[in-house]
Structure 1
Amino acid sequence: MQEKRNIILVALVLSVVLMFAKFSAYLITSSNFILTDAAESIVNVLASAFAFYSITLASQPKDINHPYGHGKVEFFSVFIEGTLITIAGIGIVFKAAYNLFYPHEVQNLITGAIIIGVTGGINGLMGYYMIRQGKILKSITIEADGRHLITDMVTSSGLVVGVIFIHLLGYLWLDSVLSIGVGLYIIFTGYKLVRKSVGGLMDEADFNVVQDIIKVLNDSRKEEWIDIHNLRAQKYGHELHIDCHMTLPNYFDLNRVHDEVALVDKLINEGASVKTELFIHTDPCLPDCCHYCSMPNCPIRFEAKSKDIEWTMDNITRNKKHFED
């Protein structure tokens, strides 16, 4: 967790430095187009500051008020970041639209382009690093902040090209038109972050995570595991929580049942590459399970096995045993 905080802290300090550099470029040029990048840098600072707070809070241990931990605050952090980006984009569009009808003189565009180009390059390098580390550390906050910085790099690159065109062609209206285009792109980026955060806060299913779990279970499947159903996966920050039902032979004693459940827990935690807390409800087998049960020398078998059932997204997430339609 300390590594996460260090990454966000570096991003925060860097954002403050680059914000001052971008506003210096705006003061030098008086360009709305450059102001769009400078305004977004304020969002970078606010987002990194809140991300640092959320990761610090998410690292707190579980308590009586938060039995699943504090990890969901990371989704809230992403929501705040996406909202701020969207507001910045809307403000940029309105100001650029105003100056489209009431243009003002711009100057020193090449100097401004150089400053913005350098800041964009630095943000791009930091963004790629944060996305990579966010995936490794399973942190949606770090990954979202990294994607925000990548967005900043893209807009800065487009800005540099646009500023050069404005300088060469001398069309003042082009400054406002390009600003509107960048503002709309920023709004779209903010929307995607808000959508992702709301999905996490509403416990929207992460199909990639569920598919990884299903693969681990299929690859390690034992004859004793007659079926697994009603599987639900929820992410709480860097942790994953799984509920499921597992059907075992009804003549297993409690110790044997515990051993099988513990093995599933171990396999998922080792194979799914994410810290996982499992709540497994065990069901006793029924005579209707016999036709797909692989248990050898079963003392209570009613009929021979006649069917193999592969565990899939469809049958492992339904709240019913595999013989039920």
Structure 2
Amino acid sequence: MRIEKKATLISTIVAFLLVTFKLTVGIISGSVAVLASAIDSLLDTVISLFNYFALHNSDKEPDEHFNFGRRKLEPLAAVIEGTIISLSALFILYTAISKMVQGSVIEHLDLSIWVMVASLIITAALVLFLNMVAKKTGNMVIQADALHYKTDLLSNGAVLISLLIITFTDYTFIDPLLGIGIGIYMIYSAYPIIKEGVLMLLDAALDPESVSKINKLLNSQLDISGHHDLRTRRSGSNIDLSVHVVFNVSTSLYDAHMVGDRIELALKNLFPENNVYALIHLDPYDDSEGEHLDQEH
């Protein structure tokens, strides 16, 4: 089993345990902040299960129905995850504002505090693990999961602080106020997840730094006289690119093919954490101007 799949299974188990504890205590105590954290953990469970499904199916080999594989499931999972986070944040905002208007009473503060302390420790350990996996694999789904649990870590800490303040001051208005803050922060954290996933689904080009690295590598090749029409995209943990490389007209097909293979290997080594699929067109002369004329007509 891939380490990414193991990570999503661990995330699911941890999220299920946290939602059980938080939801029980949130209902008993009446704390909006604890209840908001419980709802977030419930969504974590659903999201982690969906992420496992996405990773499991994205690994399948290309077939007659999906000639290029199913790697787009990874950014699709990220977009769905970000959307669910945003919707849960809106629910938390609604609940918190209602509590603020109607007034709130919190009971069993000691129990709520101990649950949040335990949640803080467990979530911190999970974030460290997911960060390690994300750094090792570069997987977008795990990166989104790690970012999500980082927001959980911050919200758990904030909830714990608010409960401690209420314990010593009886300022119960802090609870719904913090719920509003958590909701806003969840929406803020979900935006980059949704944005990156949508861009990947739309086949956006690689970032300028990566494109610059590719161009630098191509410019260093002494066996070609030039290159043009570089196109790039990212699909999950895969990088797809195509480029036209220009040879001298007297270069044999065999020699050009060998150079093309060497360039393809160099491109793969340029991004060792990704699966690079390079389509290299072997041009016997620079036909870029002709291509532009064809496109104009």
Q: Give the TM-score of the pair, scaled to structure 1.
A: 0.83
Runs of 4+ residues deviating >4 angstroms: none
Partner residue of 2:13? 13
Partner residue of 2:253? 254
Partner residue of 1:213? 214
2:270 partner amino acid: G
Q: Is the 8 A contact 2:96 2:179 kept in 1?
A: yes
Q: Is the 8 A contact 2:62 2:69 kept in 1?
A: yes
Deviation for aligned residue 1:216: 4.0
Distance 2:104 2:201 in 1: 45
Partner residue of 1:59? 59
**Residues 1:195 and 2:176 aligned together:** no
Deviation for aligned residue 1:63: 1.1
Deviation for aligned residue 1:29: 2.0
Q: Is the 8 A contact 2:123 2:153 kept in 1?
A: yes
Partner residue of 2:236? 237
Distance 2:215 2:107 in 1: 60
Classify 1:63/1:176 alpha carbon distance in 2 versus 1 (closer, same or farther; 3 Å).
same
Describe the superposition over 1:126-165 as per-residue Cα deviations: whole angstroms up to 9, x where unpaired. 1232133123223111111111111100111111111211
Partner residue of 2:266? 267
Deviation for aligned residue 1:79: 0.9
Deviation for aligned residue 1:66: 1.4
Classify 1:189/1:231 alpha carbon distance in 2 versus 1 (closer, same or farther; 3 Å).
same
1:243 partner amino acid: S
Alignment of 1:1-325 (within 5 A): 2-207=2-207, 208-218=209-219, 221-273=220-272, 274-285=274-285
Q: Is the 8 A contact 1:69 1:236 kept in 2?
A: no
Deviation for aligned residue 1:91: 0.2
Deviation for aligned residue 1:227: 1.6
Distance 2:179 2:267 in 1: 49
2:271 partner amino acid: A
Structure 1: stretches of 5+ with no match in the other structure: 289-318, 321-325
Q: Is the 8 A contact 1:127 1:148 kept in 2?
A: no
Classify 1:286/1:181 alpha carbon distance in 2 versus 1 (closer, same or farther; 3 Å).
closer
User: Helix, strand or coil for the counterpart of 2:245?
Assistant: strand
CA RMSD of aligned residues (A): 2.1
What count of residue pairs does the alignment treat as equivalent?
A: 289
Which entry has the higher C-alpha Rg, 1 or 2? Answer: 1
Deviation for aligned residue 1:214: 3.4
Of 32-41 and 269-278, deviating more is 269-278
Of 235-244 and 49-58, deviating more is 235-244
Of 270-279 and 22-31, deviating more is 22-31
Classify 1:281/1:102 alpha carbon distance in 2 versus 1 (closer, same or farther; 3 Å).
same
Q: Is the 8 A contact 1:131 1:144 kept in 2?
A: no
Identity %: 21
Q: Is the 8 A contact 1:15 1:44 kept in 2?
A: yes
Distance 1:230 1:180 in 2: 49
User: Helix, strand or coil for the counterpart of 2:66?
Assistant: coil
Higher helix fraction (1 or 2): 2
